[in-house]
Structure formats: C-alpha cells, structure tokens
C-alpha cells in the first residue's frame, strides 16, 4: 500500500534517513551520526523523499514509497513547479528580478525562466533556529521564486549571481501541495483531495 507524507523539514536536518558522512567515533570502534536526519522525525518505514532540500534549507518535503511518482516529480523534464520563499541580503532592484525571471547562466547551464516577485512583508514563517546572521547596516528582503527544475543549490546560486546572497531558503509548495499548517518537524499524510492530482500524473 502506497504512503504519501508531507513534512516540514527544519533547518540543519539532512533530507535523507541515514548519514553516511557525518559519523563520530564511539568506543570499541562503533560509529554514530552527529547530524540529524529524517529518521529523527518520521517513524514511517520504506518512504523516501521526492527530491531533496539542502541541509541549510527548510520547508516542504514530499515522501512516498511510490517509485514511479517519485521519479515523475523529481525529474526536471516534467517541469513540476516548486515555490520558495527566499530571504536575501539587501533589496533587489527590478533589473535583478528580471534577470531571475528570464534565466541566468550558472556554471555550464542556463536556468529556465522563473516566476519571481518581491514580497511586500515578511512571510508568515516561524523564526529559524538558529537565527540568520543580522547586520544593522544591511537590510534584507523576501522573494517568492517558483522554479520548474531543481538543480543543486539552484536558488542560492541564482540570487548570488545577481548580487543578492540568500540568507534563508524555505520551500513552501511542490506543485499543488502547500506547507500551510505544518510546524517545523511536523509531518502528516496527504488528504484524499491532495492525493487525487498526483494519481493523474
């Protein structure tokens, strides 16, 4: 029987169930992980993340044991939208926003056109633990960015390329699925209404 879970990944959590790198040596040669993983939050066996979120990113993750759906939503060929709230250093001007919208050359590829808007206020998010670095002389702004691809650290690379480094990154939507109602560290099963569009993929 397939399971479909939504999870609000906190900051500093690996988006996988095991940590094969960050091990610390224990007595008698045994190894323990010193980094938190999905296993510390989700007691459901045999589900796996659809895509990833970096350790220093937060927000919505979808987990399932349906391999076909996992592939369909993860593969950038299918162009499923993912929406992020991004806190950046300083206030981006319209020229920078238009660059993000049009696509930016990063290393050896050009990003696809994106939906980008400057949010008028701080979005309704709990404070990050630990907080971002704060500098009195440098203002920050929040952007909403919707991508149809998911390359490694893409949002961070995009904002840095136009001169506005990312300070905090929170994924708030995957296709029609939203983060609403989940506190950091909480998870739940999808509702039948949320599941129906996924069955049609």
Q: Is residue 40 within 8 Å of residue 13, measured between CB atoms?
A: yes
Q: Which pLDDT does position 104 carry in this prediction?
A: 92
Find out whether the peptide bond into 99 is cis, omega within 30 degrees of 0.
no
The total of other beta-carbon atoms located within 10 Å of residue 76's CB is: 14
Q: What is the 3-state secondary structure (H, E, C) of the chain?
A: CCCEEEEEECCCCCCCCCCCCCEEECHHHCEEECCCCHHHCCCCCCCEECCCCCCCCEEEEEEECCHHHHHHHHCHHHCCCEEEEEEEECCCCHHHHHHHHHCCEECCEECCCCEEEECCCCCCCCCCCCCCCCCCCCCEEEEEEEECCCCCCHHHHHHHHCCCCEEEEEEEEECCEECCCCCCCCEEECCHHHHHHHHCC
Q: Is residue 103 within 8 Å of residue 111, measured between CB atoms?
A: yes
Phi first, then psi: give them for residue 175, nearest 5 degrees. 55, -125
Confidence of residue 107 (pLDDT cuts 50, 70, 90): confident
Q: Is residue 101 within 8 Å of residue 115, measured between CB atoms?
A: yes
Residue 188, domain member (yes or no): yes
Q: Which pLDDT does position 135 carry in this prediction?
A: 84
What is the tens place of the pLDDT at every residue in 38-91? 999 999 989 999 988 999 999 999 999 998 888 778 777 778 899 999 999 999
What is the tens place of the pLDDT at every residue in 137-189? 899 999 999 999 878 899 999 999 999 999 999 999 999 999 999 999 999 99
Q: Which pLDDT does position 34 carry in this prediction?
A: 73
Q: Which pLDDT does position 20 carry in this prediction?
A: 74
Residue 199, domain member (yes or no): no
Residue 200, domain member (yes or no): no
Q: Which residue out of 12, 40, 54, 56 is catalytically annotated?
A: 54
Q: 75 an active-site residue? A: no
The range of the structural domain enclosing residue 141 comes to: 4-193
Asked whether residue 24 carries a pLDDT value surpassing 60, the answer given is: no
CATH (domain of 164): 3.30.2350.10
Angle at alpha carbon of residue 176, lines to 173 and 178, rounded to 5°: 40
Residue 161, domain member (yes or no): yes
Residue 19, domain member (yes or no): yes
Asked whether residue 108 carries a pLDDT value surpassing 80, the answer given is: yes
The count of structural domains within the chain is: 1
Residue 201, domain member (yes or no): no
Distance between CA 138 and CA 150 in Å, rounded? 29
Confidence of residue 33 (pLDDT cuts 50, 70, 90): low
Cα–Cα nearest to 185, from 37, 44, 86, 25: 37
Residue 23, domain member (yes or no): yes
């Amino acid at each position: 029987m397939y399971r479909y879970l939504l999870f609000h990944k906190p900051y500093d959590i690996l988006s996988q169930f095991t940590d094969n790198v960050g091990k610390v040596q224990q007595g008698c040669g045994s190894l323990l992980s010193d980094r938190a993983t999905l296993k510390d939050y989700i007691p459901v066996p045999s589900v796996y993340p659809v895509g990833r979120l970096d350790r220093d990113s937060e927000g919505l993750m979808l987990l399932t044991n349906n391999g076909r759906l996992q592939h369909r939503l993860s593969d950038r060929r299918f162009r499923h939208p993912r929406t992020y709230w991004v806190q950046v250093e300083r206030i981006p001007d319209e020229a920078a926003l238009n660059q993000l919208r049009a696509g930016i050359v990063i290393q050896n590829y050009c990003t696809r056109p994106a939906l980008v808007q400057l949010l008028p206020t701080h979005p309704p998010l709990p404070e990050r633990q630990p907080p971002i670095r704060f500098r009195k002389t440098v203002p920050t702004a929040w952007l909403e960015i919707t991508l149809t691809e998911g390359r490694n650290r893409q949002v961070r690379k995009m904002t840095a390329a136009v001169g506005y480094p990312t300070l905090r990154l929170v994924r708030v939507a995957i296709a029609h699925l939203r983060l609403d109602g989940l506190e950091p560290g909480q998870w739940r099963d999808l509702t039948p209404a949320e599941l129906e569009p996924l069955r049609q993929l």
